[in-house]
Amino acid sequence: MTAELIALAERVPKVELHLHIEGSLEPELMFALAQRNGVALPYDSVEAVRAAYQFSNLQEFLDLYYQGMSVLQTEQDFYDLTMAYLQRIHADNVVHTEVMFDPQGHLERGIAFETVFNGIERALRDGERQMEISYRLIMSFLRHLSEESAFDTLREAEPFLGRIDAVGLDSSEKGHPPEKFARVFARCRDLGLRLTAHAGEEGPPDYVWQAIDGIGVDRIDHGNRALEDEALVAELVERKLTLTVCPLSNLKLCVVDDMAQHPILDMLKRGLKATVNSDDPAYFGGYVNDNYRALIAHLPLTHSHLYDLVRNGFDGAWMTNAERQKHIRTLDQAFSVRC
């Protein structure tokens, strides 16, 4: 049964709704870009870089994550990073991805917004043409920085907003509640951008309330700790808000102690629109199919659960309805089940 489910999960069309492109920087590419750009790293080999991808909490991960960004210098670097990710998810039968990028992490290094954006977007366009992977682009604000910095970044992004689909909120959650960014998100909403925010990963359920009521997000990234508040669960179900859950990330960052304890099936049981995503796959041990394999191997996941998780991804994606229905038909054929 497990092998059959894994094979099914691997071959069906899927989406990814929670992916930080900088978090797909594999050790091999980090080392290659460091050499190409003359960036000094405290490692003398790819193996040493890989060994450094060890951490025990979110802040340790973020310290390593921002260090890794230092090798990204040119438009071609951002293109190569994004194209490597697209080639990898193509092998996983991911047909649509919604990619987050962190411009503040590059602007503060002196890298121009257009350098970052043009490299990422050019790869996404090429990936759509060459591999038929559709995409949406999410500009994320770093919550450990000020709201003023977020407004400054939004001004930098103004010439590109017609090609950006949404804004998000990421980085260290504790001590940086969503309400800190209420005004900048209101401005983004006025500009016609969709809104999402990391909430309830390490922060309390109140952060999820702030995201849905204070900011009015269209989607919640993570959302695990929402389960601690029955009224919040009921509200998320009522609003049909998608949760972009990241199982291997949760394990690596100790949000859960064991994959067998992951709450994603409880989320489905309670009617939440949980989905499966990789978050920062180079650092957390796997891409989309790796996350599905981990869930199937450690939880009593059924055909019905698998269908719901994949289908929730399509329902929560910011794709056109025509694209969605095309992929859902293929999904239903693979499962030979109800629509």
Return d(Cα 307, Cα 312) in angstroms, integer.
8
Mean pLDDT of 55-81: 87
Mean pLDDT of 111-125: 98
pTM of the model: 0.96
Mean pLDDT of 65-71: 86
Contact between 199 and 224 under an 8 Å Cβ cutoff? The reply is no
Confidence of residue 46 (pLDDT cuts 50, 70, 90): confident
Q: Is the pLDDT of residue 202 over 80?
A: yes
Q: Is the pLDDT of residue 159 over 70?
A: yes
Confidence of residue 338 (pLDDT cuts 50, 70, 90): very low
Q: Is the pLDDT of residue 55 over 80?
A: no
Please tell me whether 18 is known to bind a ligand. yes
Mean pLDDT (the chain) is 95
Return d(Cα 22, Cα 62) in angstroms, integer.
11
- Beta-carbon neighbour count of residue 175 at 10 Å? 9
What's the domain count of the chain? 1
Q: Checking DSSP bridges between strand 134-142 and strand 94-101, what pairing results, if any? A: parallel
Mean pLDDT of 145-163: 97
Catalytic center residues = 201
- The CATH number covering residue 76 comes to 3.20.20.140
Q: Is the pLDDT of residue 44 over 70?
A: yes
Q: What are the pLDDT digits (tens) for 278-313?
A: 999 999 989 999 999 999 999 999 999 999 999 999
**Which pLDDT score is estimated for 337?**
52
Please tell me whether 280 is known to bind a ligand. yes
Say which DSSP state 201 is in. Answer: S
Between 11-25, 57-71, 229-243, the lowest mean confidence (pLDDT) is in 57-71
Q: Which domain holds residue 317?
A: 2-335
**Which pLDDT score is estimated for 60?**
79
Please tell me whether 90 is known to bind a ligand. no
CA-nearest of 281, 145, 277 to 220 is 277
**Which pLDDT score is estimated for 339?**
39
**Which pLDDT score is estimated for 297?**
97
Contact between 277 and 244 under an 8 Å Cβ cutoff? The reply is yes
Task: Report percent pLDDT > 70 for the chain.
Answer: 99
Say which DSSP state 158 is in. Answer: G
Q: Is the pLDDT of residue 63 over 90?
A: no
Confidence of residue 57 (pLDDT cuts 50, 70, 90): confident
Q: What are the pLDDT digits (tens) for 233-288?
A: 999 999 999 999 999 999 999 899 999 999 999 999 999 999 999 999 999 989 99
Q: What are the pLDDT digits (tens) for 203-214?
A: 999 999 999 999
